[in-house]
A and B are shown apart, each in its own frame.
Chain A
Amino acid sequence: MSIERTKSKQKVKEPKTKITWKEIKRQKVLLFWAAIMVVYGVVFYYLPLAGWTMAFQNYKPRLGIFHSQFVGWDKFRTLFSDMTFIRVIRNTLAMGVINLVVTFITAIVFAILLNEIKSKGGKKVVQTISYLPHFLSWIIVTGILHDMLSGGGIVNELLLNFHIISQPINFFAHPGYFWPIVAFANVWKETGWNAIIYLAAITSIDPSLYEAAAIDGAGRWAKIKHVTLPGIKPTIIILLLMNVGNVLNAGFEVQYLLGNGLVQKVSQTIDIYVLKWGISQGDFAIGTAAGIFKSFVSIILIVIANQIAKRNGEEQLF
């Protein structure tokens, strides 16, 4: 509610409060708390950025940041002439977009379907069970997947019993199956959790709108289309914007744990590349350069998405 008040105040364009000692004294508690957050932000978000200088050095841990040799854009040049890195970007983008689209749609659809359930108890049970997988760590999820999809796993057994296939399929040996498996894992793990926020948005829709729609002769389908969806549109847009910035965080654990030699061409993401070259091979400069590239692209993506939202007169992040 306080946010609402400040927002409405802005609209009236209240004259700016003059900064005087008296005013500072009056707001000293607020200032104190604000200062803590500023310090926190500087220490944990801005100071670590100094480490980015590593990307422009031939960084050696023995010499440290101050004595390593400065090499300019060399490391970036190496990075972009490395075919593996180009492939890694492709994988990250592809899996990021697939995950974004699939988890986004399933969460909204799931929330709407759940909302249509009339029995309160049933709804609660389904909702609770559906978001439980969110609390499992990836190592467990990938373990389950490995078991289910293995040669003697339940999926192959079912397919064999129904005579859909004659030979067990080794799902993890085909590069073509890898992205769908990752997308499926994400959907299974996160759909219920992501749906919570849409459910909250749906409950905030004024019931009188549904009544009015019903009087106008709207059926279930029409109510969803004309009341529910427009009602949660602001939430959808905000979440979409935030997730667009996260596209390059397509994942690390799931690809790392499910990948193997046969599918490495499609399984490695930027994060795995950073781990491999930065940490395992000890080339911190290359790792940092790849990380900078990733942050850079993420910022561009989120700014573009925000601009598009602004043009269309929708909610924005900033």
Chain B
Amino acid sequence: MKRKRMLSALLVVAMAATMFAGCGNKGGSNSSTQGGKAANDGDIKEFTAFFAVPGSEINDDNEVQQIIAEKTGVKVKETWLTGQTAEEAIGTLVAGDEYPDFICGGNGMPQLYDAGALVALDDYIDKYPNIKNYFTEQEWDQLRQDDGHIYWIPQFSNIKGEEKTCTHNDEAFWIQARVLEWANYPEIKTMDDYFKLIEDYNAANPTMEDGTENIPYTILCEDWRYFCLENAPQFLDGYPNDGSCMVDPDTLKVMDYNTSDTAVKYFKKLNEEYQKGIVDPESFTQTYDEYIAKLSSGRVLGMIDQWWDFAFSAGDAIKSAGLDAQGCDYIPVPVTIDGRKNQWHNSGGVLNSGDGLAITKDCDDVEAALQFVDDLLSEEIHNLRFWGVEGEDYQVGDDGLFYRTKEQRAKAAETDYKASHACSYSYFPQYDGTCDDGLNATKPSGQAKEFFDGLNEDVKKAFQAYGVETYVEMLGTNEAPGPWYPMWSFSNNFTTDTEGGMAWTKIGEVKHEQLPQVVMAKDFDSAWKTYMDAYNACNPDAFLSELQAELDKRMKDAAKYE
């Protein structure tokens, strides 16, 4: 018996060993993003890139990528964020001190800069005309960090020639086309109108055509995406998206939207709607995937979200499931607290100086890397990236206008085709606006006719009823409010090194926990008071005064160029 007892003791030890071995492995798994460095594939140089945003990888034998590789001599293997936040992914890279060649760290950009992981680009920029012309001197100067160097190139919202924008890429109140159609396309101007319409529609049509119950209004709250819940008060007050605050354009003072009267009204409204069963009870516990699945099923009548957060996933799914025939596509409505004018959509392109494409110290050939970025901005390659191959992905009309046939449009939305054929290098610098021919938009989404022809029937009908042709016209457009705009390019990069950054982190925690409770509370007033007490304990003034200081600095910097 003793022997057998020893046997079981041995088993215990063996099991312990497997346990410890399991623990030991955890640390070493962060090298997966590195991969091959400049591997020689013929004479094609291969770079690696990591983008701290969710994205879908394309196939290794992607056709357009191959064409671009043949023309430029460079191929980039892109990897994306999976199941982590940007800060976690970047923090892991910093801790391991190994980086891909190209990187875009999103909100983790300051960590990369602090770690000394990035290559200063200012000495190189002059050598590459396309990169040089990508920004004006003033814009380049805005990108300088506190050591005076430029480390990253913002990729988006850069407009070449005449602006051609048809989609509102930002945040709005969205409502399904079928709701608007049912009510005969009414004018929706106030928050109360918006929720009343959703209530009325849901009372009259509680289910979809196949009998599935509608979800009248849902709120995405997962992690950093809880902007869908928390930042609406600034939009309801008609302000553009400064992200973390509102800015009075006359006095140039920062204002807090968390404590405004509108905030109280908005959360009180949500609370009422929650008690009525209009707000999805799973709002505060659902994950992003669950949320997208709900939108894709066509059950959700309305929500607040950023276009890019749902349109490319849920939007395409609605189309491929044929739900557009039921009117499940989303239309933005210009809703404010009392019907005042909104400034949600800004023209002219907004420079986000907070993050962009950077080259890391682990890149062994910075010049080749920059040459590639330069090539990507040339018209020929740019068209390949966003339009595709002529004759295959788009046609050129007799008037020189690019257009797509119905089949080409359908193909462009297919997931398989996107992976095997299209390669937009979507997190590399790119242009919106007009091509050098002065005729075509740089991207299909900006080509007015192509855009309108490509819309689903339900959206077309709604647009026609409102007498507009694009999403932007639904909301109206505004000049960017001032040189400080947008403040989120500063607040997104807050770190806990400063008092204000610490306050911002704590405020985030409080809002994550308290705002759902405010909405669900039986007694709104006491819940709101609890929230405000917790909020004020976070020292919000430190946060606001740092925002004010940045605003003043940006105004001063801009004044130099006047």
Give the interface of A toward B (CB within 8 A). Answer: 1, 3-4, 44, 60-62, 84, 139, 146, 150-151, 168, 170, 172-173, 197, 200-201, 203-206, 232, 234-235, 238-239, 242, 260-262, 264-265, 275, 277-284
Give the shortest distance, in Å, between A60 (CB) and chain B (any CB). 7
Asked if residues B88 and A275 are in contact (CB atoms below 8 Å), the reply is yes
Report which of A151, A279, A280 forms a contact with B282, defined as CB distance below 8 A.
A151
**In-complex Cβ contact of A261 among B2, B15, B512 (8 A):** B512
Instruction: Indicate if the CB atoms of B281 and A261 lie closer than 8 Å.
Output: no
B24 at the interface (CB under 8 A from A): yes
B516 interface residue per 8 A CB criterion: yes
Given the known interface contacts A146-B290, A197-B15, A278-B91, the answer about A61 and B114 at a Cβ–Cβ threshold of 8 Å is yes
Q: How far is the CA of A239 from the CA of B3 in the complex (A)?
A: 19
| A279 and B6 in contact, given A261-B284, A261-B516 (Cβ under 8 angstroms) | no
Q: Indicate if B285 sits at the interface (CB-CB under 8 A).
A: yes
Interface residues of A, dominant DSSP: helix
Bound together, the chains give a CA A168 to CA B91 distance in angstroms of 40
Q: Cβ of B517 < 8 Å from any Cβ of A?
A: yes
Inter-chain contacts of B1 with A (CB < 8 A): 204-206
Query: Which one of A61, A168, A200 lies within 8 Å of B7 (CB-CB)?
Result: A200
Contact across chains for A204 and B512 when beta carbons are under 8 A apart? no
In the complex, what distance in Å separates the CA atom of A284 from the CA atom of B11?
A: 38
Interface stretch, picked from B32-40, B92-100, B427-435, is B92-100
Q: A197-B12, A280-B88 are in contact. Are A4 and B284 (CB under 8 A)?
A: no
Q: Are A284 and B281 in contact (CB under 8 A)?
A: no
B264 to chain A, nearest CB (A): 20
Of A139, A200, A281, A284, which is within 8 A of B496 by CB? A281
Using C-beta atoms within 8 Å of the partner chain, give the interface range for chain B.
Answer: 35 or more
Q: In the complex, what's the smallest C-beta–C-beta distance from B163 to chain A, in angstroms? A: 37
- 1/0 contact trace for B513-555 toward A, CB 8 Å? 1011100100000000000000000000000000000000000
Is the C-beta of B226 less than 8 angstroms from some C-beta in chain A? yes
User: In the assembled complex, which residues on chain A have CB atoms less than 8 Å from the CB atom of B145?
Assistant: none
Can you give 13 contacting A-B residue pairs, CB < 8 Å? Answer: A61-B97, A151-B281, A172-B285, A197-B12, A201-B8, A204-B5, A205-B4, A238-B9, A260-B284, A262-B513, A279-B91, A281-B87, A282-B114
Q: B221 near A261 (CB under 8 angstroms)?
A: yes
Instruction: Give CA–CA (A242, B15) in the complex, Å.
Output: 11
Q: Which residue of B lies closest to A7 (CB)?
A: B6
- Known: A204-B4, A204-B5. Is A61-B92 also a contact (CB below 8 A)? no
* 10 closest Cβ pairs, A-B complex: A204-B4, A261-B512, A279-B91, A280-B87, A61-B115, A62-B116, A172-B285, A201-B8, A206-B1, A282-B111
How many Å from the CB of A173 to the closest CB on chain B? 5
Q: How far is the CA of A60 from the CA of B97 in the complex (A)?
A: 12
Quote the shortest CB–CB distance from A68 to chain B (angstroms).
Answer: 12
Contact of B87 among A1, A234, A262, A279 (CB under 8 A): A279
Q: Which residues of A contact B2 (CB under 8 A)?
A: 4
Complex Cα distance, B2 from A206, in Å, reads 10
A146 to B8, CA, bound (A): 37
Residues of A within 8 A of B70 (CB): none
Q: Quick check: is B85 within 8 A (CB to CB) of the other chain?
A: yes
Which chain A residues lie closer than 8 Å to B221 at the CB level? 260-261
Tell which of B5, B88, B509 touches A279, judged by Cβ atoms closer than 8 Å.
B88
Task: Give the docked Cα–Cα distance between A60 and B112 (Å).
Answer: 11
- B6-A3 in contact (CB<8A): yes
Chain A residues with CB below 8 A from B16, complex form: 242
* Nearest neighbor of A84 in chain B, beta-carbon distance: B509
Is B10 on the interface with A (CB-CB < 8 A)?
yes
A307 to B328, CA, bound (A): 67
Return B527 CB to nearest CB of chain A, in Å. 13
CB B112 to nearest CB in A, in angstroms, measures 9
CA distance A250 to B127 in the complex (A): 55
Quick one: given A173-B284, A281-B496, are A261 and B513 in contact (CB under 8 Å)? yes
Tell which of B1, B94, B285, B517 has the most Cβ of chain A within 10 Å. Answer: B285
Is B450 at the interface (CB under 8 A from chain A)? no
Task: Supply 7 further A-B pairs (C-beta < 8 A) apart from A146-B287, A150-B290, A200-B7.
Answer: A206-B1, A206-B4, A261-B515, A262-B513, A275-B88, A279-B87, A279-B91
Give the residues in chain B near A204, CB-CB below 8 Å. 1, 4-5, 7-8
Cβ-closest chain B residue relative to A44: B24
Decide if B440 is an interface residue (CB 8 Å cutoff). no
In the complex, are the beta carbons of B92 and A279 less than 8 A apart? Answer: yes
Please state if A200 and B11 are interface contacts (CB–CB under 8 Å): yes
Are A170 and B24 in touch, CB under 8 angstroms? no
A238 and B92 contact, CB distance less than 8 A:
no
Question: Which residues in A have their C-beta under 8 angstroms from that of B24?
Answer: 44
A264, B85: Cβ atoms under 8 Å? Answer: no
Contact A197 B284 (CB under 8 A): no
A238 to B14 CA separation, bound complex (whole angstroms)? 13
* Interface presence of B222 (CB below 8 A): yes
List of B residues within 8 angstroms of A146 by Cβ = 287, 290
